[in-house]
Chain A
Amino acid sequence: MVESIALGDFIVTLYLIHFGFSLLAAELRNLKWSVAAIVVQSLTLSGILITFANIGSNPSLYWWGFATLGTKVFAIPYLLWLYIRRLPTAETRPWLGTIPSVGVMLVLVVVFYNFLHTHVEFIAPSLEAALEPARSNLALSLTICALGLWVLLVRRDAVKAVIGLVLLENGVHLALVTLAPTLPETTLIGIVTNVIITVWLLLYLAGRIFKVLGTTDTAMLSELKH
């Protein structure tokens, strides 16, 4: 019993670390550091899955945890690394400067999290999901989804756009394991909905565009509008 409570607290801690590194991945202007933040963020996701497998009645989550380790901790950051090693370390200058961007993002994150946490019954499909700690964890997961969308909307760098997509997907996966940690089907969903091929293809196309344009600025991709 005591061990189970300790593991429960450990999961909450992992969620918070995951959230913190999601913020760093979104805001760090150095692409290499941003990718490093994604590695730690994905590592905590893998840790959350393995801990759920350890405390619950669903050992199949080990498979998802190890698949996450292989794809999100190693493969996706490796693909990102292959791409950014040819580029300047700093990301393309975003629409907002560092301080306003961090400020706006923090305000949005706090407001969004508080709103979700207060009104979680609206989105929680079951009573268990509306109780702590699932309540806070679900609110955190959906805030990470919103963070991913925010990155996709305001950042101009092609690598940052891919990082936004990864954040969005990790947020959805975190919501999935928060809402349904006990069913083996959850593992199947988590593994088959991995976006690794999409990430590879996006980076490949971004690389080809970089060869032609000499930039990863997505705002430059506007020729077709004219």
Chain B
Amino acid sequence: MPVLIFAVPAGVAILIFAFGRLHAIFREGLALFGLAATFLISLAISGRVLHGELLIAWGRNLYVDGLSALMETLGSAMAIIIVLYSTRYLTQHQIGMPLNPWRHTYFYGLLVLFVATLNWTCATNSIIWMWVSLEATTLTSALLVTFYWKRESMEAGYKYLLLISVGVTLALLGCVLIYAAAIPLLPGPHVMLLTEIGRIAKRMPESVVLIACAMFVAGFGTKAGLIPFHAWLPDAHAEAPVPVSALLSGVVIKIGAYALARTVTIFAPHYAAVVLFVAILASVSMVIGIVMALVQDDLKRLLAYSSISQIAYVIEGLGLGTYLGIYGGLFHMVNHAIVKALLFLCAGALMYTTGTREISKLGVVAKKMPVTTFCFFVGALAIGGMPPFNCFMSKVTIFFALADRGILWAAIIGIATGILTVACFAWAAFRIFWQKPTAEPNPETEVKRVPVLMQASMLVLAFACILLGIYPRILYPVLNTATDSILRILGAG
């Protein structure tokens, strides 16, 4: 099963590339079939993992625990919603160029291939293969960012690929240092295994571990979009097609957080400096991210900057290395994936209908788009951490974890950022849905009705925001197992 979770989507992606040009059923149909199969496999894996089983293969090189199962299920579920949305969004009207079967084949093939690389990243136990698969997620998603082949998307794709490649090469240096430090302490075949490295974390030279952790934070932090390594994020989110933006914020940046959880978190409890370093970086990131979001007129860039702020909560929680911190970080990772995908899909619906993403050109669309208005408000209140929506519980958990660890100042910064987030999104929502446009909208734009499938995708995510806010315990078994899987590696050390 640890092999199937990435082999199935990889195989389906090959089929899409081979036959996608023949008919839509071989693109959209195959993509949906492949992702549904992957989702079912991830559910089966989660079921076994929840019963205390560890799925191991290839001499412990593949190792699926609670955290891997959580990421794989989240990634597959988000990808299904994104494909459903894309079937209606990526029309000739939206792309603005003749419908080309090859372009759609390329889109769906890469999307499914991305899920395969994501699942590979989560299934591997080798620090080096994790690096390789993480770089593979960058390559596939970079091609998705450049989907429109316009100057702006090329520019965004080039920046995305270059900056993340430089970042992850620094992380590779961190991997090399940890690998070399593990050689005297572990037998040859085990030196690359994360579970084994966790066991000997305390016995490694402190200075080497601290430098390696700094490299991991810089490298994987670039992928996660942490400030000051975030330069790629606003451009890539803004210029990619909306479904890809949802994928970037919902899943791609979470891979960076996942890699940090697998590497930095296993060292954090032994070194107070790592916890403090991560807390400072995350606090700076969350404040600057939301301040930058406040001044944006481009809705997609606003959402992108907000992602920088929100991923900082996740990394701050994970960096604490305590049960409560890791639990809160993982909970917020799931919640942010749902909320941000919802907000990007709402932005897509607005663009589909009005042809613009500039907030000053939108306005008074609430009556024309009641479903989008409702979904956007759910997302806006949720991301601000308002009760009874999902992010409320995850943010509160992180604040308690910070206070419990004695980093009260970081909790206060987190709360202040939450208030700014509510203000930012409430102001944006008011301008988009009720205020008269302050700039002249494009008179040639044909106002279109949002297709049912796009509305359904948004409603599913909005419903999830409400459900997880009212009944956060639904996720408790999964999050508890995922948290325990990290703590088990720490405990072994």
Contacts and interface: CB of A to CB of B under 8 A. Distances in A.
Contact of A197 (B139, B151, B179, B208): B139
A108 interface: no
A182 to B, nearest CB: 8
B247 interface: no
A53 interface: no
B162 A202 contact: yes
B131 A193 contact: yes
Contact of B173 (A122, A129, A172, A208): A172
B162 A122 contact: no
A202 B180 CA distance: 30
Chain B interface size band reads 35 or more
Given A205-B157, A205-B161, A223-B151, A168 B208 contact: no
A165 B169 CA distance: 8
Contact of B172 (A129, A180, A193): A193
Nearest to A178: B180
Nearest to B301: A224
Nearest to A206: B158
- Secondary structure at chain B's binding surface: helix, strand, loop or mixed? helix
Contacts of A154: none
Contacts of A131: none
Interface in B201-224: 204-205, 207-208, 211
B72 interface: no
Contact of B158 (A149, A189, A205): A205
Nearest to B174: A172
Contacts of A192: 128-129, 132
B180 A224 contact: no
Contacts of A224: 152, 155-156, 234-235, 238-239
Interface of A: 121-126, 129, 145, 149, 152, 158, 161, 164-165, 168-169, 172, 175-176, 179-180, 183-185, 188-189, 192-193, 195, 197-198, 201-202, 205-206, 208-209, 212-213, 221, 223-224
29 contacts: A124-B208, A125-B204, A126-B181, A164-B166, A168-B170, A172-B169, A175-B173, A176-B176, A179-B179, A179-B180, A188-B128, A189-B176, A192-B132, A193-B132, A198-B135, A201-B139, A201-B142, A201-B143, A205-B158, A208-B149, A208-B154, A209-B151, A209-B154, A221-B158, A221-B159, A223-B155, A224-B156, A224-B234, A224-B239
